[in-house]
Amino acid sequence: MAGLFIAEKSSYADPVMTAINANDVPVPTRDIAQVKADIAHAGFGILEGALDEATTAAIRERLLDQAAAERQKAVNISNSAVEPDDDVNQWVAMLPNKGRVFRALINNDDCLDLVRFILGDDAILSEFSAHITWPGNKEMGLHIDQWFLPQPAMPSETYKRVSDVSRADQPFGGPERAERMINVPVVANAMWAITDFTRENGATRLVPKSHLSGHHPAPDTAYDSVYAEAPAGSLVIWEGRTWHAASLNTGTTPRLGITTYWGAPFLRQLLNFTYGLRPEVATELSEHERSLMGYKMWGTYGTTGDFNAQWATPGDRNLGEMTTDDETQSTKR
């Protein structure tokens, strides 16, 4: 990308000189068709007003209270897999266990529409946690979310065995458009702005059009990026190949973001909802929510004993050892 351009900005940003063409920088919009066009072109989009003010405020209050309590009670707040060198930022995990109000986010029609635009109708929820960037944090390195996928290979090429793939041995390079086949997106990250996202408080930074490169950003390398600045209640969504990272919070207040991260139905989920949900929460889930969280079969994947069943069943309801003369076991479910 030759030449310098001033990236188009929202009213929440200061002008930032960047080598990225302004036409490639999505800005907050209430037009969902435009968000889809932005995702296809730039790899991400910003839907403003995705959540009403009252629901946003209720989620913000519940999240701040939960986060304060977890800090007070010395609950582990870090996520070493994502931020190994940062003990300032706070993660509040498995949000369905921590307040019914959070479930409004996965019942949001616009969010589901955008996720399904990227992944298809049977996408499932993989992660549902809050990421709070506090002042004094460390800047996260740029990365892609589907780092675990092996790269496409010609029949004559060597390849990485699928269970040996790591973040350390990926094809690093620039964000320029690839000239050979690359992976399709198999995950999508829908990040909810529970407070305003600003450059000062650590708004997510992204590299437009990097989703078409087939590369991973090289560690400790400076790349031009833009900040997803948006008012509270907005939804920032990017597909799994887009380069992104949380930024430095140089302000005085925390940035509250909630990540609803989605994946193809054949992928292992980041959060083990079927095992980790509290019983009283699992019991009150709607059929729609259970489906999103992986309780529903997909082409027999997720089966718990009956290949013709539609839903997973708990272990104490599944068949155990049987013998031909055991009449009770044959009907025990």
Asked whether residue 278 is assigned to any structural domain, the reply reads: yes
Quick: pLDDT tens for 250-269. 999 999 999 999 999 999 99
CATH code of the domain covering residue 169 = 2.60.120.620
Tokens of 106: 């996965």
Range with the poorest average pLDDT among 62-71, 229-238, 274-283, 320-329: 320-329
Asked whether residue 81 is assigned to any structural domain, the reply reads: yes
Q: How many domains does the chain have?
A: 1
Query: What are the Cα distances from residue 104, in Å, to 192, 245, 286?
Result: 11, 25, 12
Most confident of 13-17, 28-32, 153-157: 28-32
**pTM to 2 decimals?**
0.89
Mean pLDDT of the chain: 89
Quick: pLDDT tens for 35-70. 999 999 999 999 999 999 999 999 999 999 999 999
Residue with tokens 């800047």: 139
Angstrom distance (rounded) from CA 237 to CA 30: 14
Asked whether residue 330 is assigned to any structural domain, the reply reads: no
Asked whether residue 181 is assigned to any structural domain, the reply reads: yes
Query: What are the Cα distances from residue 283, in Å, to 112, 148, 180, 240, 304?
Result: 23, 33, 48, 31, 18
Quick: pLDDT tens for 102-121. 999 999 999 999 999 999 99
Q: Which domain holds residue 123?
A: 5-150+165-296
DSSP per position, 37-79 = HHHHHHSEEEETTSS-HHHHHHHHHHHHHHHHHHHHTT-----
pLDDT-based confidence at residue 220 (cuts at 50, 70, 90): confident
Q: What pLDDT is attached to residue 83?
A: 55
pLDDT-based confidence at residue 140 (cuts at 50, 70, 90): confident
Angstrom distance (rounded) from CA 44 to CA 31: 14
H or E element in which residue 110 lies: helix 109-119
Q: What pLDDT is attached to residue 44?
A: 98
